[in-house]
């Protein structure tokens, strides 16, 4: 028998196995009966969406994708609900009664406006076809960007309006930054990420998708988002898409896996880092403006707990009042495309499911009142 060399150095417990063990212990409690089906989804191939690049005049790409059965999940959802305008939906959400679970802050009725310009095409439920790589159009810009379609939802929740200034605090590698710009409403966008390698990738991505006049309204930096309080500017909209346990990646890839034993401390400190980043995002939001917090984890500790902690610290230590905006209408509008968790104390959670294998994506929207 030949002993392979790597057998002596191979990790006894791969990080992916440690991640599964951890998720089995925590998510079976958190999600109960739903966990086995979410688990199967997360261990299977993820589904993508094609974020169309309106700056590339992607009509040919859209026709091609339509002929393969793809549909824009945003306009389909909008048109099925109001009947009059296929692209825009203005819907008053019902107030969820959070009082029993969340007594430390107020909730508010929100107007959910679905941006008329962002288009994201997906294959129908249960169809696991793959997209071809995007090709450049006549002007040399790529026709679409492939991403987990659920990660467009935090951008829709951000509800960027014409003339708005936007901060994307943890922007690399840039999928959501690109989606924000597809709204064609941004006056100025600041995209930041701590990692220089990620901002470099973000810059390359934006150059492949955006014309020069749009690149001019974007400012890219690489600094620790927690230090935002030292900056003297605020924004109409702030996206805080934090580093998290990236649950799907942690189950499938050894490389850069946060469940490696050497990264245990880093993993345990994630909720603290996430809270600090959200607090920085809150400080960067102008009074009256809105901040969206998002993760790609199912973890209650990284989702609702972070939001609740940030709201109470902001009020106690910074004198900032926040209203949690109700996103219940997203569940109503997009349940034809995504599988949502039945109840969350704050925000909404997209659950992976074999028939709609997007997510996990958690998002919560806060309005800064003072
Ligand atoms: N929004 C991105 C997108 O849609 O492509 C994904 C963001 S990813 C979930 C989280 C990012 O946070 C990583 O790129 C990571 O480098 C960055 N990050 C980690 N710590 C940070 C910090 N202290 N300040 C700013 N960014 C940070």
Compute the distance from residue 155 Cα to the ligand 1 centre, in Å.
Answer: 15
Ligand 1 near 347 CB (within 6 A): no
DSSP string for residues in 269-329:
THHHHHHHHHHHHHHTEEEEEEEEEEES---TTTTHHHHHHHHHHHHHHH---EEEEP-HH
Question: Residue 263: what pLDDT?
Answer: 97
Q: Could you read off the pLDDT of 290-342 as tens digits, one per residue?
A: 999 999 999 999 999 999 999 999 999 999 999 999 999 999 999 999 999 98
Give the pLDDT means over successive 10-residue stretches in the chain (370 positions): 59 92 98 97 97 92 96 81 40 36 41 76 96 92 98 97 98 98 97 97 98 98 92 95 98 97 97 98 98 98 98 98 96 96 92 97 97
Ligand 1 near 225 CB (within 6 A): yes
**Overall pTM > 0.90:** yes
Nearest to 13 by CA among 253, 249, 260, 250: 260
Atom of ligand 1 nearest to the CA of 195: 16
Question: Residue 95: what pLDDT?
Answer: 35
Look at phi and psi of residue 110 and say left if phi exceeds 0, alpha if psi is from -120 to 50, else beta: beta
Q: Could you read off the pLDDT of 69-111 as tens digits, one per residue?
A: 999 999 977 665 443 333 344 344 433 333 333 333 444 444 4
Ligand 1 near 247 CB (within 6 A): no
Compute the distance from residue 75 Cα to the ligand 1 centre, in Å.
Answer: 29
User: What letter would DSSP give residue 161?
Assistant: -
Ligand 1 near 180 CB (within 6 A): no
Compute the distance from residue 241 Cα to the ligand 1 centre, in Å.
Answer: 7
In angstroms, the first-to-last Cα distance of the chain is 71
- CATH class entry, domain 11-45+91-115+149-368: alpha beta
Atom of ligand 1 nearest to the CA of 169: 25
Read off the tokens for 254.
């050894």
Question: Residue 1: what pLDDT?
Answer: 54
Question: Residue 232: what pLDDT?
Answer: 85
């Amino acid at each position: 028998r030949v002993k392979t060399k790597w057998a002596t150095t191979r990790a006894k417990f791969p990080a992916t196995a440690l991640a599964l063990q951890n998720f089995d212990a925590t998510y079976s409690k958190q999600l109960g009966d739903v966990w086995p089906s979410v688990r199967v989804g997360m261990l299977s191939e993820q589904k993508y969406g094609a974020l169309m690049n309106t700056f590339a005049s992607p009509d040919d790409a859209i026709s091609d994708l339509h002929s393969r059965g793809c549909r824009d999940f945003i306009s389909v959802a909008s048109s099925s609900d109001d009947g009059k305008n296929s692209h825009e939906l203005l819907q008053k959400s019902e107030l969820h009664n959070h009082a029993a679970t969340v007594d430390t802050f107020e909730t508010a009725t929100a107007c959910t406006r679905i941006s008329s310009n962002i288009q994201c095409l997906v294959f129908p439920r249960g169809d696991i076809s793959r997209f071809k790589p995007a090709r450049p159009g006549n002007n040399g810009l790529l026709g679409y960007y492939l991403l987990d379609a659920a990660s467009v939802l935090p951008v829709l929740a951000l509800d960027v309006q014409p003339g708005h200034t936007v901060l994307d605090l943890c922007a690399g590698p840039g999928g959501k930054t690109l989606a924000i710009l597809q709204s064609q409403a941004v006056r100025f966008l600041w995209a930041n990420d701590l990692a220089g390698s990620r901002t470099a990738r973000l810059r390359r991505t934006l150059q492949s998708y955006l014309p020069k006049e749009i690149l001019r309204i974007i400012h890219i930096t690489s600094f620790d988002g927690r230090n935002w309080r030292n900056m003297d500017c605020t924004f109409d909209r702030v996206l805080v898409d934090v580093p998290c346990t990236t649950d799907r990646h942690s189950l499938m890839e050894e490389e850069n896996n946060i469940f490696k034993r050497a990264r245990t401390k880093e993993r345990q400190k994630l909720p603290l880092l996430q809270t600090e980043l959200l607090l920085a995002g809150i400080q960067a939001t102008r009074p009256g403006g809105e901040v969206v917090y998002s993760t790609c984890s199912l973890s209650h500790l990284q989702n609702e707990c972070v939001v609740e902690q940030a709201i109470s610290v902001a009020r106690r230590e910074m004198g900032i009042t926040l209203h949690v905006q109700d996103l219940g209408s997203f569940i109503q509008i997009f349940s034809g495309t995504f599988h949502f968790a039945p109840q969350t104390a704050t925000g909404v959670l997209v659950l992976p499911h074999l028939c709609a294998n997007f997510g996990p994506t958690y998002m919560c929207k806060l309005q800064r009142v003072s």
